[in-house]
A and B are shown apart, each in its own frame.
Chain A
Amino acid sequence: MIMITLVRIELYKIFSKPRTYIGFVAIAFLVPLIQVALYIDGETYIEFSLQNLKEAFEFQGNLLNGFLATYIILATLYVHIPFLIALVTGDLIAGEAASGTLKILLTRKADRTMIVVSKFIAGMIYTATLIFFMAIISLVLGLAIMGTGDLIVIKNTIYVFAENDVLWRLIAAFCFGLIAMWCVGALAFMFSAFSDNAIGPIILTMTVIISFIIISAIDLSIFRAVKPFMFTNYMGSWKLFFEDPVDYNKVILSAGVLIFHILGFLGISIYHFNRKDILT
């Protein structure tokens, strides 16, 4: 049984389920909504963000453009995309356990490791498809509505990137964001391997992510000590591409930590699933 056949079967199952399209519909609704809202009221947002600069500077040129809209949409990665990914990847094993179809899969000749890995790969492909869809709709629609221009990124330092210096950063950021979302998907997948119902993994994944983010945001010494060990700490490192110069060492470190977690979650899933009694 070759892996590619199994992956294609899993993808067929994923994209045959209505719940898979919730993510695409949500993005297709949210992204244009954010873009239109920015188009209407984005100037106010920029004015407020740059208010202290107005004392000394006069602004020339347009900051409200498709690139800014795309950047803002990227920043929402934390909020809704993890849920949309967990919705599908958390269902990959647990959903089949709940519906009883796991036993018909496992009474075929493919071994358990191959089944788990094929499901995992299919889940990652779904994640990539969702992020790619989000990137395309953000960029294409954003540029169509608001055009191009320089990109302003407001952190403790205000960065302005020249128009010809933005696109590669956005692409790199989406690619990094994809790794971060793969990590979320892998976490949900791991919980799915331990569960016999699909709701548990989804809720557990979101609980872990939200808890870690909250712990990261609270500036206490005890939390600061554990922060480097929380994978959520590295999920936002796509923002490193919007600094000048880009700290590639940090990018590589963050990507490495996330990939380590992805492989770890997968390893735990395979280990547990191979030993699990299928009772449903």
Chain B
Amino acid sequence: MIQRALIFSLFLLLPSMVQAQSKDGTAILEQVKEKFYTIKEYEANVKIKVDVDFVKIPVKQGLIWFMQPDKVKVKIPGFSLLPKRGMNFTPNQLLTGDYTAIFIREEKLGEYNTYVIKVIPSDETDDIILSTIWVDQKRMVIRKLETTTKSEGTISMAFQFGPVVKKFDLPDEIIFTFDLRKNELPLGLTGDFENTEPRDKKSKNSKGTVTISYLEYFVNQGRAIAQFKKNK
């Protein structure tokens, strides 16, 4: 339930052994998908930081487990806000079944040269309408993902990697970005009668980000298997 999109994102993040010389969108994504399946399971120590202008929540530390094909579990002590959009995605949603991957262009994203690929599911009943993926040309990892869904609007994710390419090139950080309506609750609920600051009526919307930092991975070591077995 928790954020199957992590599977999707990780699926897309694995480095391809094959240099993407070809500008065939489908071929690039198939390579990335193949690499994804080399990760059977992992456990990761994570830090979750929420950055919304009207929300102040402490940085939380916890654990994330993943097991193929789409099992994800998050354990954060206390209360935490996890990005809803994007976390519910699975790579299977996007790359299983019929889809069309169209190479659009090459684009410089920050300091990285990327391929911009659009993915359109063939099934019109699919919740996903369109996805745009920026694939690092050199490292063959996903740097950015934007997906527009029928149910949850547009999801934007950015992926940060360490400078050194490891065996399982998993991201150090995923940054989720979204729009949300500003908090406007009646005084009766907050009891905030002493607040002298005038309410900012102009900016009703604000941008928010959730940054998940992956501090340490334990890949294919059986930790996630044990965790999911426990739940049975």
Q: In their complex, do chains A and B touch, with some C-beta pair under 8 Å?
A: yes
| Min C-beta distance of B136 to chain A, whole Å | 27
- B198 nearest CB neighbor, chain A only: A219
Given contacts A56-B84, A158-B55, contact A239 B194 (CB under 8 A): yes
Q: Which of A61, A78, A154, A217 contacts B189 (CB 8 A)?
A: A154
Within 8 A of A (CB), among B62-76: 74, 76
Task: Select A61's contact among B80, B85, B184, beta carbons within 8 Å.
Answer: B80
Instruction: Assess whether A236 is interfacial by the CB under 8 Å rule.
Output: yes
- Does A206 belong to the interface (CB within 8 Å)? no
Pairwise interchain contact A156-B199, C-beta atoms closer than 8 A: yes
The CA-CA distance from A217 to B191 in the complex, in Å, is 11
Q: Which of B127-144 contact A (CB under 8 A)?
A: none
Cα(A158)–Cα(B55), bound, Å: 5
Q: Is the interface of A mostly helix, strand, loop or mixed?
A: mixed
**B23 CB–A CB distance under 8 Å:** no
Other-chain contact of A159, B56, B77, B181, B196 (Cβ < 8 Å): B56
Interface pair A58/B84, CB less than 8 Å apart: yes
The smallest beta-carbon distance between B210 and chain A, in angstroms, is 8
Given the interface contacts A154-B185, A156-B183, A213-B193, does A61 sit within 8 Å of B56 by beta carbon? no
Contact indicator B181/A162 (Cβ below 8 Å): no
Task: Give chain B residues whose Cβ lies under 8 Å from the Cβ of A59.
Answer: 79-82
Chain A contact patch, size range = 35 or more
- Provide the residues of chain A in CB contact with B203, threshold 8 Å: none
Give the interface segment out of A30-38, A47-55, A113-121: A47-55
Please tell me if the beta carbons of A150 and B191 are within 8 angstroms of each other in the complex.
no
State whether the Cβ of A75 lies closer than 8 Å to any Cβ in chain B: yes
Counting chain B residues whose Cβ lies within 8 A of the other chain, the interface size class is: 35 or more
CA distance A78 to B2 in the complex (A): 41
The residue on A at minimum CB distance from B152 is A55
- Tell whether A60 is near chain B: CB-to-CB under 8 Å: yes
Residues of B close to A259: CB separation below 8 A: none
Alpha-carbon gap, A78 to B50, bound state (A) = 33
User: B78 to A162, Cβ gap below 8 A?
Assistant: yes
The verdict on B161 contacting chain A, using a C-beta distance below 8 Å, is no
With A49-B189, A53-B81, A56-B85 known as contacts, the answer to whether A156 contacts B197 (CB < 8 A) is yes
Minimal beta-carbon separation of A229 from chain B (angstroms): 14
Alpha-carbon distance A178/B202, docked complex (angstroms):
38
Would you list 21 pairs from A and B whose C-beta atoms are within 8 A, ordered by A residue?
A49-B189, A52-B182, A52-B183, A55-B181, A56-B179, A58-B3, A59-B79, A59-B80, A60-B79, A60-B81, A61-B76, A61-B80, A63-B79, A152-B79, A156-B197, A156-B199, A158-B56, A160-B56, A162-B58, A162-B78, A244-B56
